[in-house]
Amino acid sequence: MSSSSEFLISQEDELALHRRLVDRDVTAFADLASKFLDPLIKWLTAKNRSSISEDVCIDAAEDALIALVKNPASFNPGGGKRLDAYLCMSAQGDFRNLLRKEGRHRKKGRTLSNFRLKTGNIS
């Protein structure tokens, strides 16, 4: 899913960082963001359509990191996956959810506009 050139952190450092998240180390989030945020944004941007705003990729990457901080047990270091691969999977899921949410908002906006046009209530 990810390539080692995108995420320049050793597996040992990933595990140490995850341990700090589990232990609720107050500096762990800053370290997580500095190591993973930009590479996640770059990965999401490259993986998804260019017609999608980079803001959606940024939001999805941030959401994935925040979710891990809130629930570090969601990543199982003994499960055979690297932390970078887990974060890519999580960010891609958040990306899809944001697109669905954005689509619903656009659809609601069109429905409201159509309702105003049909009822003559244009404000």
In a domain, 16, yes or no: yes
What pLDDT is attached to residue 7?
72
What pLDDT is attached to residue 76?
95
In a domain, 2, yes or no: no
What pLDDT is attached to residue 111?
47
What pLDDT is attached to residue 14?
95
Q: For 48-82, where are the alpha helices, taking DSSP H only?
A: 54-70
Q: What is d(CA 97, CA 93) in angstroms, rounded to the nearest whole number?
A: 6
In a domain, 4, yes or no: no
* Distant-in-sequence, close-in-space partners of 90: CB < 8 Å, separation ≥ 6: 64, 67, 68, 74
- Report the number of distinct structural domains present in the chain: 1
Q: What is d(CA 66, CA 72) in angstroms, rounded to the nearest whole number?
A: 10
In a domain, 111, yes or no: yes
What pLDDT is attached to residue 4?
42
In a domain, 109, yes or no: yes
Q: How far is CA 44 from CA 81, 89, 106, 120, in A?
A: 19, 10, 22, 43
**Six token digits for residue 105:** 């908002």
Asked whether the beta carbons of 84 and 51 are under 8 A apart, the reply is: no
Local confidence pLDDT in tens for the 123 residues of the chain: 444 446 779 999 999 999 999 999 999 999 999 999 999 999 999 998 777 888 999 999 999 999 999 999 999 999 889 999 999 999 999 999 999 987 755 555 554 445 455 555 554
In a domain, 24, yes or no: yes
In a domain, 1, yes or no: no
Structural domain including 105 reads 11-119
What pLDDT is attached to residue 115?
47
In a domain, 50, yes or no: yes
CATH code of 107's domain: 1.10.1740
pTM, full prediction = 0.77
